[in-house]
Amino acid sequence: MFRFETLDVYKRSVAFSNWIYGLTRRWPREHLYGLSDQLRRASLSIALNITEGCSRSDKDFQRFLRIARGSCYECIPLIEIAFQQGLISGEERSKARAELTRMAKMISSLMNSMG
């Protein structure tokens, strides 16, 4: 088992990305290379940066965690636009925002624990 696989935030980020893929799969094709692609990439970036950071020094890991947290923030306007375009429900919007907020806080806590 790799070190990152023990992190709850990593597990949540993988689950979130899978949820986003399922959510965007049902969107009209016209959004495939714009909003859908950008949201998928931003959600993937959370897990990927946590993973890559774990293979580095603590200083580098913190830098990758900042990028992962930034990807959480990047998802927020994408989710909002998807809601305003009628692509997701208010419930899905709330669920996404709550999970992104939780992951961003978990990433911040992890960074703080490293000093």
Under CATH, which number does the domain 3-113 receive? 1.20.1440.60
For the chain, the average pLDDT equals 96
- Residue ranges of the domains in the chain? 3-113
Question: 31-43: string of b/e by CB count within 10 Å (b at 16+)?
Answer: beeebbebbbbbb
DSSP state, residue 4: G
* Chain segment 14-68, per-residue pLDDT in tens: 999 999 999 999 999 887 789 999 999 999 999 999 999 999 999 999 999 999 9
Q: Which long-range contacts (CB under 8 A, 24 or more apart) does 47-56 make?
A: 47/10, 47/13, 47/14, 47/17, 50/4, 50/7, 50/9, 50/10, 50/13, 50/107, 51/2, 51/4, 51/10, 53/4, 54/2, 54/3, 54/4, 54/7
Place of tokens 């094709």: 29
pTM for this prediction: 0.94
Q: Which of 37, 104, 22 is nearest to 71 (CA)?
A: 104
